[in-house]
Structure 1
């Protein structure tokens, strides 16, 4: 049975979904996206994802083809139509189809596409119990990483570099400091302090990041938002990442060197527990 996807106002079987070959998302990566997790049939952090979507669109001088309330209903309908208990919903909005020209077209109609991925047991990933391994690579992305655009080629290359090295992911480094993972925000823990890169154009303003840091502060954990180096990370007591699809995931090895005792740390484990518990209470 094929999935039902949403394309420009219509729910269609995935094999019938079509967009123009002149769509600027295809020609220029001229578009943005969001990923919302589904747990127990409900959407996690939807409002925050919708707000970030509006910001990304605004930074690219684009408008959403649907209102926020309608967007929520589209998400819910896709969960229902595809019988998603645990999984992900991907949303992409591009500037639309127009004859190829580097200049933005004046009258193009935005393209909107949503589709689901079923991920049974998403919150119970075995990796959360064992931790993941990362390598460090040079950050060669464009400068506006705070905009969640569909231009993901270098992060994909980073994932492949990690795979070739026998690792799970890569942490990107710019001017000697870690920016973020290929599809996640990066953290280290030293003593009782959680350290993660400060917000700016250099990193994505992670929705899970914001929630986890808020929960950490509520739990009386100390948080420092500043840049850190790989050397500092290697001397940390523990490390972890956050993202909409992995929630809070311990990192146990960087560039072949074990972090702390080489096992998932107590701070990461506790934050994962808090995040899942609290997010499920607020899920829609």
Structure 2
């Protein structure tokens, strides 16, 4: 999903991934590696006595290891309905080693690749058929109906961040809440067979959040952004959905202040102007 991190981080993560694979009775196969943001995760295909698998290693500072992000995939395995296609979690192992905490998760192998391989942002029209888009709409609706006490986006964050990063005074009270995947972008979706990956952060968010996030990450490809709106317009083109777009724009504009998603800043501000009823 992301580029390889700094050499010291890459070396440590590779060594720890190999240790985790052995502990879970699996063997890495092939040269391909899937890195997370700044080397926070490393995933590889593995072979196991039960067949092909996928071993994902998560790292965090020891004092921050555990909690919601650690438990998300396990709870998704328990609560997500069959209408939400996802890799099945077989085993997990958590431990600490000095300054770092680690979580190894062994999943069934998903044969299809993610729509984008290096980053969440879409840069070309993907070759996705009717069944894929229909399945996405069904999955987004099914996730929204799952009862949960998990939280993906907090009202307190909206109260603080929306005026700061949108640059306007507005009512920051979310008009409706529903359950969201929480990180629905193109590097977490596979094709041509749809699978939703990365269930760390799912939980309650402003209604329409998943659709709004996928739409934002599609803005460099207007044709696909329009298709997202066409397929998920039932949650986007309503007041709650428009508010969710403002939430997502807030979050992504905040990332630009850290040097991430810089190419999205201009189209995000254009979309913001449209939502606020102003000229882009």
- Which of the five TM-score ranges fits, normalised by the shorter chain? 0.3 to 0.5
TM-score when scaled to structure 2?
Answer: 0.32
> More helix per residue: 1 or 2?
2
> More strand per residue: 1 or 2?
1
Highest RCO, 1 vs 2 (Cα 8 Å, sep ≥ 6): 1
